[in-house]
């Protein structure tokens, strides 16, 4: 999109992509819930077959041949360019560092919650069919987040998005302590997570030149993975030795601390002072 001067269409196109992804996920989760009721093992067989079928067109794809004047370099040279150069570039821009950090610190807890939430619903005696429906609703609201991402960003601008969406994510995770309404904040998190993911990607892309974009996005995924590696086992250990409800409370405390730290950083680096 950069090379065709369509950068401003990023939000709209990414939103459409998110809608398609979440819509297909919701259908898969609803159907998967029904299949699990019929025969639990059958859902794994169908997933395996789907992956094999999807692999066929991927293997038949041909990579576009591009002319390149780059000289052959060793693996160490490529690693140095990819990691150290990209790290140096990212840390040269405080706003870019902040966006990557806030993305990882908000997305990782939501992802962790999504994976453990299914087990917790089972402990609350939700049927497999009802769990499938709730996960499907989470994805449907995720599709709505993708659909409204461009409109909300244009209306509320960067400052309000970076302040309000994270605090709504924090509040939603805190509300998971109330079992009788637990499905409401979980469904809302689908909307907020998709919205924040799309808008944050847009803000990051605006700060990064085309030739650096792949490296920056790779580093962004790296940071998310690091937070997941730390967070996921902590919540799992607490859930195993105490309870998942307590682990969700700990998760809400962690993400609240994340948000407070990010507010401090936001003011310190004078993010909105241009």
Contact 33, 132 (CB under 8 A): yes
pLDDT digits (tens, 9 = 90+) for 181-229: 999 999 999 999 999 999 998 888 888 888 788 788 888 888 899 999 9
CA–CA separation, 170 vs 189, rounded Å? 10
Lowest mean pLDDT segment, chosen from 36-40, 44-48, 146-150: 36-40
Q: Under CATH, to which class is 7-47+76-268 assigned?
A: mainly alpha
If one compares 66 and 23, the residue with the highest pLDDT of the two is: 23
The token pair that represents 113 in the structure block: 């919650």
CA–CA separation, 84 vs 79, rounded Å? 8
- What ranges do the domains of the chain cover? 7-47+76-268
What was the pLDDT predicted at 45? 87
Contact 90, 96 (CB under 8 A): yes
CA–CA separation, 246 vs 125, rounded Å? 18
pLDDT digits (tens, 9 = 90+) for 88-117: 888 888 888 888 988 898 999 999 999 899
In the block, residue with structure tokens 């509320």 = 156
Q: How confident is the model at residue 68 (pLDDT cuts 50, 70, 90)?
A: low
What pTM value is reported for the model? 0.82
> What residues have CB less than 8 Å from 25, skipping those under 6 apart?
136, 139, 142
What was the pLDDT predicted at 159? 78
Q: How confident is the model at residue 61 (pLDDT cuts 50, 70, 90)?
A: confident
Alpha helices in 61-182 (DSSP H): 75-79, 86-91, 94-123, 128-174
CA atoms within 13 A on the CB side of 94: 11
Percent of the chain at pLDDT above 90?
30
């Amino acid at each position: 999109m950069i090379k065709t001067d369509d950068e401003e269409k990023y939000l709209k196109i990414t939103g459409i992509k998110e809608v398609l992804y979440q819509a297909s996920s919701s259908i898969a989760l609803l159907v998967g819930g029904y299949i699990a009721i019929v025969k639990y093992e059958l859902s794994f067989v169908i997933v395996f077959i789907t992956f094999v079928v999807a692999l066929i067109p991927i293997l038949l794809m041909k990579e576009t041949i591009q002319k390149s004047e780059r000289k052959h370099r060793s693996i160490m040279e490529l690693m140095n360019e990819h990691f150290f150069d990209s790290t140096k570039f990212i840390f040269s821009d405080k706003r870019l560092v902040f966006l990557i950090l806030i993305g990882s610190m908000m997305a990782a807890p939501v992802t962790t919650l999504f994976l453990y939430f299914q087990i917790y619903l089972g402990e609350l005696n939700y049927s497999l069919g009802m769990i499938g429906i709730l996960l499907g609703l989470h994805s449907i609201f995720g599709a709505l987040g993708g659909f409204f991402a461009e409109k909300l960003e244009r209306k509320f601008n960067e400052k309000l998005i970076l302040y309000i969406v994270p605090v709504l994510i924090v509040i939603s995770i805190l509300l998971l302590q109330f079992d009788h309404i637990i499905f409401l904040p979980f469904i809302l998190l689908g909307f907020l997570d998709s919205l924040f993911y799309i808008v944050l990607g847009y803000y990051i892309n605006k700060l990064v030149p085309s030739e650096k974009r792949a490296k920056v996005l790779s580093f962004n995924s790296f940071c998310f993975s690091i937070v997941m590696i730390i967070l996921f086992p902590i919540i799992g250990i607490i859930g195993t030795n105490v309870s998942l409800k307590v682990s969700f409370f700990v998760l809400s405390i962690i993400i609240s601390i994340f948000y407070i730290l990010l507010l401090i950083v936001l003011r310190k680096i004078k993010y909105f002072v241009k």
